Chain A
Amino acid sequence: MFAYTTPLIGGLLIGASAVALLYFLGRIAGIAGIVWGAVSAQPDNAWRWLFIAGLLAGPLAYHFLAGVPNPAPSPLPWWQAVAGGLLVGIGVRLGSGCTSGHGVCGIGRLSPRSLVATLTFMATGIITVYVIRHVLGEYLP
Chain B
Amino acid sequence: MKALIGLICGLVFGVGLAMSGMTDTAKVLGFLDVTGQWIPDLAFVMGGAVLVTLIAFRFVLRMKKPLLNPRFSLPGTSVITGRLLAGAAIFGIGWGVYGYCPGPAISALTYLDDKTFMFVAAMLVGMAISNKLAPG
Contacts and interface: CB of A to CB of B under 8 A. Distances in A.
B20 A76 contact: no
B11 A90 contact: no
Contact of B127 (A32, A52, A74, A117): A32
A86 B125 contact: yes
Contacts of A7: 19-21, 41-45, 48
B96 A132 contact: yes
Contacts of A105: 53, 57
B52 A18 contact: yes
Interface in A50-68: 50-63, 66, 68
A130 B33 contact: yes
Interface residues of B, number: 113
Contacts of B134: 93-94
Contacts of A49: 6
B63 to A, nearest CB: 8
Contacts of B4: 50
Contacts of B96: 84, 124-129, 132
Nearest to B35: A130
A12 B36 contact: no
Contacts of A80: 97-98
Interface string B113-136: 111101111111111111100100
A100 B91 contact: no
Given A46-B3, A56-B109, A89-B126, A96 B11 contact: no
Interface in B55-79: 56-57, 60-61, 63, 65-69, 71-75, 77-79
A26 B5 contact: no
A39 to B, nearest CB: 6
